[in-house]
Amino acid sequence: EGIGVQEYTALKLKVLEWAEGAKSKVEGKIPSGGEVYFVPATLRPETMYGQNCCFVGPHLTYGIYEIEKGKQYFFLSDRAARNMAFQSIFPSWGVYPKVAELQGSDVVGTLVNAPLSVHKNGVRILPMDSVKASKGTGVVTSVPSDSPDDYATCLDLAKKADFYKIKREWVQIDDILPIIETPTYGNLTAKYLVETMKINSPKDAKQLAEAKDLAYKEGYYKGKMVYGDFKGKSVEDAKPLVRQELIDAGDAFNYAE
Ligand code: A2H
């Protein structure tokens, strides 16, 4: 929001196994051998080691879009697909072929591969009510060590797994990976802020916005990597390096809006 361009890193999370609710809507739409990727947009590529799950808005509408015929498909909001069609992400300028339409709730439970994540068997797609249709791709990868929103949502999902009709173990929240050390908040910045600010629920929007601001500034300007290929470097230095590594591996691309 505001003036200027937001430069996101769009990450490619390959579908390993569709949730039951998605199967009938995807069946026959993706040719055999075709791969579908969930594509979260992030401003913090250097934290991707800690991905524990990935969020969609349960009430939002998404499409599966053909990026490369028969081969590669992206799960995105319609708005993001349209923007990407004007950023040379689709092969034909302005064209974004949609092969299926789903609700976020349909895909909850889907297992995806998250590049760089320590969870090598994959992460699950889970619901987050605060995902906005008007920002990024409508898909948000979760990093509970460094994002207060993600941490608060994961705690809530784990606590009320039955209510959300998910399995508690899908959240993978019991061993949070420290990625960044900061002088003020230690190495689990989001957990520290959520606890000390007494944030009790993902609905505490005002406090979460404040925590997000504090976490972002402290992490970016004073954080040091304590995990990954750029361990020991400052976050400011590591961020473009991790982003480039992901892009070079074919696991991410630039997306602006
Ligand atoms: B960030 P900005 Cl570790 N709705 O990625 C709600 N939130 C969204 C979104 C949407 N449609 N699309 C992206 N986001 C989140 C990592 C992260 C992020 C960390 C720490 C802070 C942080 C892991 N989640 O964001 O409004 C995504 O979460 C706080 C700055 O465009 C994305 O980066 O400034 C960030 O919000 C984009 O927010």
CATH of the domain at 246: 3.90.740.10
Using a pLDDT cut of 70, give the percent of the chain over it. Answer: 99
Task: Show the domain range for 228.
Answer: 7-256
Digit-coded pLDDT (tens) for 44-86: 999 999 999 999 999 999 999 999 999 999 999 999 999 999 9
- Measured by CA distance, the residue closest to atom 20 of ligand 1 is 147
Q: Is the ipTM of this complex over 0.90?
A: yes
Residue 148 lies in a domain: yes
Residue 7 tokens read as: 């430069």
d(CA 45, CA 164): 28
Residue 213 lies in a domain: yes
Residue 147, ligand 1, Cβ within 6 A: yes
Are 169 and 111 in contact by the 8 Å Cβ rule? The answer is no
Split at pLDDT 50, 70, 90, the class of 137 is very high
C-alpha 203 to ligand 1 mean position (Å): 16
Give the SS3 label for residue 22.
helix
Residue 10, ligand 1, Cβ within 6 A: no
Residue 136 lies in a domain: yes
d(CA 224, CA 218): 10
Digit-coded pLDDT (tens) for 182-193: 999 999 999 999
92 burial via Cβ count (<10 Å: 0-12, 13-18, 19+): exposed
Residue 44, ligand 1, Cβ within 6 A: yes
Residue 184 lies in a domain: yes
Handedness of CA 212, 140, 125, 132 (dihedral sign): positive
| pLDDT given at position 2 | 59
Which residues share a beta bridge with 113? 14
Put simply, whether the predicted model's pTM sits higher than 0.95 gets the answer yes
C-alpha 43 to ligand 1 mean position (Å): 6
